[in-house]
Amino acid sequence: MGAFPSSNYIPVVQSKYVLEGLFSNAKFSQLMASGLFEMDIVENQVQQGGDYINVPSIVQVDDFARVDITSTAAAVGTRIASYAGKLPVLRDYSHKSLTETDEIRTNEDFLPKLSMSAGNKVAKRSIVMLDKNLKAVLTAQSTHIKDITAATTKTVNVEALLDTKVLLGDQSQDLSIMLVHSKAINNLYKQLGAGSGYAGNAVVAGDMIRSGALNTILGVGTIVVSDDLTADAGATSSAGDDIYWTYLFKPGAVFFGYQAAPRFDRFVDSRVPSTLITYSWKMDYTIGAKGFSYNGVANPSDAVFADNAQYSVQTEDHRNVGICALKSLVS
Q: State pLDDT tens for residues 166-220.
A: 999 999 999 999 999 999 999 998 887 765 444 445 555 666 666 778 888 899 9
311 & 225 share domain: no
- Whole domain around residue 126: which residue ranges? 6-58+82-138+254-321
126 & 268 share domain: yes
47 & 95 share domain: yes
User: Residue 22: inside a domain, yes or no?
Assistant: yes
User: pLDDT tens per residue, the chain (331 residues)?
Assistant: 444 444 444 444 445 778 788 888 999 999 999 999 988 765 444 445 689 988 877 666 677 877 788 888 877 776 666 667 889 999 988 888 877 777 677 666 767 777 788 889 989 999 999 999 999 999 989 999 999 999 999 999 999 999 999 999 999 999 999 999 999 999 998 887 765 444 445 555 666 666 778 888 899 999 999 999 999 987 765 656 799 999 999 999 999 988 777 777 777 877 766 678 888 888 888 999 999 999 999 999 999 999 999 999 988 788 889 999 999 999 8
259 & 116 share domain: yes
User: Residue 76: inside a domain, yes or no?
Assistant: no
**Cβ atoms of 187 and 156 closer than 8 Å:** yes
186 & 158 share domain: yes
91 & 26 share domain: yes
What's the structural domain count of the chain?
2
Tell how strand 311-313 and strand 292-294 pair up: antiparallel
| Vertex 23: Cα angle to 21 and 28 (nearest 5) | 110
Q: Crossing angle of helices 202-211/182-195, nearest 10°?
A: 100
As to burial, measured by CB atoms within 10 angstroms (0-12 exposed, 13-18 middle, 19+ buried), residue 242 is middle
123 & 188 share domain: no
pLDDT of residue 80: 63
Domain boundary among 249, 284, 309: 249
238 & 278 share domain: no
| DSSP line for 293-328 | EE-S-SS--HHHHT-GGGEEE--SSGGGS-EEEEEE
DSSP letter assigned to residue 47? G
User: Residue 123: inside a domain, yes or no?
Assistant: yes
106 & 129 share domain: yes
Domain boundary among 214, 249, 284: 249
129 & 220 share domain: no
User: Residue 143: inside a domain, yes or no?
Assistant: no
User: Residue 233: inside a domain, yes or no?
Assistant: yes
User: Residue 21: inside a domain, yes or no?
Assistant: yes
User: Residue 272: inside a domain, yes or no?
Assistant: yes
pLDDT tens digit string along 281-305?
888 889 999 999 999 999 999 999 9
Supply the pTM of this predicted model: 0.84
Domain boundary among 229, 249, 269: 249
User: Residue 74: inside a domain, yes or no?
Assistant: no
